[in-house]
Amino acid sequence: MAVDYRWDFHFIWQYSPALLKGVLLTLELTAIAVVGGTVLGTLLAVLRTSRVGLLRWLAVAYIEAGLALPLLVLLIWINYCLSQISSLLTFGSFTVAAIALVLNLAPFVCETIRSGFATLPDDYALAARAVGMSEWQTFRRVTFPLALRRTLPGLIAHYVTTLKLVSICSIIAVPEIVHTSSAIISREFRPLEVYTAMGVIYLLMVLPFTLLARFLEKRFLVKN
């Protein structure tokens, strides 16, 4: 027999300012993670192909560790363990979340960029060198732009995943959407409406990026 439950979404509107703050904080953390993770991931991709053995080894070690460690483990370790090493390594929950998200995203960016370079035919680089371009000019003007075009859809997919992973940061009391929604549930005792509203919010945030990834895949990958 079905439970006679009466849905009521009217109270959601009174919490719209709090939910909006959660959305903005989620987007802010995502932006920081995307910029920081992309920069660090690109640096790792360069170091992985370095001729200096120590740099290459350190990059590979970090990439393998980063791919293996779940974001939840990073959050807990940075939040609770670093402060035990030194008081200078004590951060607020927002900073901890930003650091963990960047460290978590960077290895995936690195591997995506590396795969983009690996799929490029050698003819591009050979043609660039034939017209007198240096190794750096070939990388900056030819191989890197072509690899970026090939990897953009994959990168955006990782960015979308990062947007959704921000929800895990609620475990260290970052007031993003999930944490804010949990606070509303504890006051109103109507989890079905709150979780439904939260699902709609995530759909509205994620769908534009998903459509963008599909557009870029058709725009760039098919033509290469």
Please write the tens of the pLDDT for every residue from 79-130.
988 878 877 778 899 999 999 999 999 999 999 988 888 777 777 777 777 8
The answer to whether residue 2 scores a pLDDT higher than 70 is no
Percent of the chain with pLDDT over 70: 96
Q: What is the pLDDT of residue 202?
A: 94
Domains delineated in the chain: 25-221 (1.10.3720.10)
Q: Could you tell me how many residues make up the chain? A: 224
Please write the tens of the pLDDT for every residue from 136-146.
777 777 777 78
107 compared with 218, residue with greater pLDDT: 107
